[in-house]
Amino acid sequence: MPATPSYDAIVVGAGPAGTTAALAMAQKGLRVLLLERGESPGSKNMFGGMLAACAAPEELIPGFWKQAPWERHVVKRVLTVVGEGSSTSVVHQSDAADREPYAGFTLYRPVFDRWYAERARDAGVTLLCSCLVEGLVLRDGRVGGVRVARPQGVIEAPLVVACDGVTSLLAKEAGLHAGFTPHQLALGVRALFRLTEDEVDDRLGLSGLQGATNEFLGCTDGVRGGGFVYSQVDTLSVGVVAHLDSLTQKRIPPYDLLARFVASPWVAPLLKGARLAEYSAHLLPEGGIAMVPRLSAAGLLVAGDAAALCYTNGLTFEGMNLAMTSGKLAAETAIEALASGDTSAAGLASYEQRLRESYVIRDLKTWARAVDFMRRDQLFSAYPRMVGELMERVYRSDGQPKRRIGRHGLDVARESLPLRQLVRDGIAAGRSFL
Amino acid sequence: MIVDDLFDLTSFRVHREAHIRLDYERCRPCDHRACTFTCPARCYEWSQERSRVEFAYEACLECGTCLTVCDKDALDWHYPVGGFGVRFSR
């Protein structure tokens, strides 16, 4: 006789998506089991970035953004284009971003994820850490639970929410996708450097827990990708993100790219006297909307990185907010489906509709062309060099008659790339961003 | 910072059994050996002496890069047993 499942839903992975889903379901009285393979939530996660404040967790926990253990609120965004021996930056700093409610935060995932999962436990979620889900229970054409490396072996439930991260092994097992490929993924490596709070303030021009994000283009030896420096209270996250297919083509190890970036004149002065504290790596889904798998099957919903809900358009980098929002929408779908007793494929199909109506899929669609645009090698080599060369000429004062900026621009462009290429890239840029 | 410094700072709880296994027979015909230079933890190394890719799992950061770049289906790839493997603190 089959045992009665003692949980209404099993959530796999206590990251931002999974914890949000578990919390939202528990608040509606469902019995939820949240499984995490790390010894504590966040211990397998790294993050060098800015989390954009989003409504999802605030709707579940009023005052969320006031309580959550973030590091600095971001007031300053810097984009630096690295050329041949030069760099050119655009700095955006905003008073509005310095007032509550803050718009973006830097944080440590092992700290943030752990705190957030505790809030889910407060709401009644059963959190089980150090528990690896080895696969799904597939029976009669539907998902009916998970297999774990524990004495009981199998945990059954009418619904599984897979928030198992970028490798997305559960969605793959369920046949929702065929496995992500190198051209859909980027590899991020990060070194964490310890300074004092004052040193971080002084070096980045900040005060009173203000934070800065710094992105660098053209610093990756022609590999498609970029560098970053993010400020926590008394540390800097310094890293490189590289498209996996480009890294494979160029045959440059990611830690070598990182070491060169750290030693570069644009980064080294920030790190003077800093102590290296930790090294980490993680994959990022960067294939845009085309990479998003089917999002549900009978008895299964997929959210967060596992559903490839993550993107960059070259200026903004979003993932955690999309993960939390998708987790909440998965929970809303689950609550309805479990109440009606229909967790079939048809019963869960409204999840995709909810995502399509939300900013999650809409943003991915908005930037669909930008994702393709960012796959042009010259954006990471020829164009950054052109910017550097142009600015050199604009600022040069050497006793020769000056030319107008537009003239310099045309000269530099013609010297760098064939006209046809420039026109093609220009049109593509327009279609991607305008 | 020199590259070697990076690898001494991350904390692990190493399980006695490898969570990823390399099938040397399937690996042998590979001509790009992308794992040897894309793995961020230097877990894969070409051994001239044994003329094969050598793999050590202990310093694995569990990112999934090798699983993605290997096109010879040479990896039996799993996450470590729950509670084992890399432990990021920040």
Q: Considering only A2-6, A276-280, B25-29, which range has the smallest mean pLDDT?
A: A2-6
Is A111 in Cβ contact with B88 (below 8 Å)?
Answer: no
Check whether A1 has a pLDDT greater than 50: no
Reading the block at residue A70, the tokens are 């973030």
- Which residues lie below 8 Å from residue A366, measured CB to CB, with a gap of 6+? none
Query: Is B64 in the A-facing interface, judged by CB distances under 8 Å?
Result: yes
Query: Is B3 in the A-facing interface, judged by CB distances under 8 Å?
Result: yes
Distance, in Å, from the CA atom of B47 to the CA atom of A373, rounded to the nearest integer, reads 39
Give chain A's domains with CATH numbers.
Answer: 9-69+107-177+293-357 (3.50.50.60), 182-285 (3.30.9.90), 372-433 (no CATH)
Distance, in Å, from the CA atom of B35 to the CA atom of A99, rounded to the nearest integer, reads 46
Q: What CATH number is given to the structural domain containing B37?
A: 3.30.70.20
Contact by Cβ (8 Å): A300, A345:
no
Reading the block at residue A151, the tokens are 């004495």
Tell me the pLDDT tens digit for each residue of A112-150.
999 999 999 999 999 999 999 999 999 999 999 999 987
Query: Is B76 in the A-facing interface, judged by CB distances under 8 Å?
Result: no
Best to test chain A binding among B3, B4, B6, B13 (most A CBs inside 10 Å): B6
Distance, in Å, from the CA atom of A385 to the CA atom of A217, rounded to the nearest integer, reads 10
Reading the block at residue A341, the tokens are 């007793």
CB-neighbour burial class of residue A122 (10 A; exposed 0-12, middle 13-18, buried 19+): exposed
Q: What is the 3-class SS of B9-71, one letter each residue?
A: CCEEECCCCCCEEECHHHHCCCCCCCHHHHCCCCCEEEECCCCEEEECCCCCCCCCHHHHHCC
- Which residues lie below 8 Å from residue A378, measured CB to CB, with a gap of 6+? A417, A421, A425
DSSP string of A73-139? EEEEEEEEEE-SS-EEEEEEE-SGGGSSSPSEEE--HHHHHHHHHHHHHHTT-EEE-S--EEEEEEE
Contact by Cβ (8 Å): A292, A308:
yes
* pTM of the complete model beyond 0.90: yes
Query: Is A180 in the B-facing interface, judged by CB distances under 8 Å?
Result: yes
Reading the block at residue A143, the tokens are 């998902």
Check whether A2 has a pLDDT greater than 60: no
In the structure, what pLDDT confidence band is assigned to residue A5 with cuts at 50, 70 and 90? low
Provide, as residue numbers in chain A, all residues whose Cβ is less than 8 Å from the Cβ of B69: 182, 244, 248
Q: What is the mean pLDDT of residues B79-86?
A: 97
Number of domains observed in the structure of chain B:
1
Provide, as residue numbers in chain B, all residues whose Cβ is less than 8 Å from the Cβ of A130: 82-83
Q: What is the DSSP letter of A242?
A: E
| % chain B with pLDDT above 70 | 100
Reading the block at residue B12, the tokens are 């692990």
Distance, in Å, from the CA atom of A57 to the CA atom of A10, rounded to the nearest integer, reads 20
Provide, as residue numbers in chain A, all residues whose Cβ is less than 8 Å from the Cβ of B42: 253, 255
- Which residues lie below 8 Å from residue A59, measured CB to CB, with a gap of 6+? A328
Tell me the pLDDT tens digit for each residue of A224-274.
999 999 999 999 999 999 999 999 999 999 999 999 999 999 999 999 999
Domain that includes residue B22, residue range: 3-87
Nearest to B50 by CA among B75, B19, B27: B27
Cα dihedral value A430, A315, A272, A197, nearest 10: 150
Query: Is B9 in the A-facing interface, judged by CB distances under 8 Å?
Result: yes
